Amino acid sequence: MKVSQIIKELNLIVFSGNGGLEKEVSGGYVSDLLSDVMGNASENEIWITLQTHKNVMAVASLKDLAAVILVKGLRPDKDTLDESNNEDLPILGTSLTAFEISGKLYNLINK
C-alpha cells in the first residue's frame, strides 16, 4: 500500500515531504527511542512517534523509512520540516494517540 492511500484511509495531515507520497509501505514501527528505531525498524516502514525534532529525519532517512506519523496533534519543528522536504520523506500527523493510530494502520496494512 502506498503512503498516499494510507493518508486517505486514516485521514492524516501531510506536513511535508510531498515528493515521497507514492512510496510503498511494508509495515510500521512504534517507538519514541531513536536508537530503538535505528536498531529495529526496517526499510519502507512507517514510524509512529511523538518526537518532533530534526534527528527524527536523520533516523528516518538513514533507515529508508517510508514516512513518519506524529501523534496526538503534534507538529514537526521547522528544521524537521525542511529536512523532510529535502529528503522527500513525508511527515504526517494525526490527533489520535500512538495506540489508536497503530491499531488502525495495522488493520489497514494487514487487510
Partner 1 sequence: MHFQYSIEGGDFSRAGNASSQLKKLLKQLNVDSQLIKRIVVALYEGEVNIVAHAHRGTIDVDIEPDKVFIRLSDEGPGIPDIKQAMKEGYSTASQKVREMGFGAGMGLPNMLKNADKLNIESEPGKGTIVELTTLLR
**Positions that interact with partner 1 (CB under 8 A):** 32-36, 38-39, 43, 49, 51, 53-55, 58-59, 61-64, 79
CB of 71 to partner 1, least distance (A): 14
Distance of CA 92 to the CA centre of its chain: 6
CB of 68 to partner 1, least distance (A): 12
Task: Output 11 or 79, the one with its CB closest to partner 1.
Answer: 79
Angstrom distances, CA of residue 51 to CA of 11, 33, 75, 105, 110:
20, 9, 9, 19, 26
Task: Output 16 or 51, the one with its CB closest to partner 1.
Answer: 51
CB of 35 to partner 1, least distance (A): 4
Task: Output 62 or 107, the one with its CB closest to partner 1.
Answer: 62
Query: Which helix (DSSP H) or strand (DSSP E) does residue 52 occupy?
Result: none
The alpha-helical segments, DSSP class H, found in 28-110 are 34-40, 55-62, 78-87, 98-109
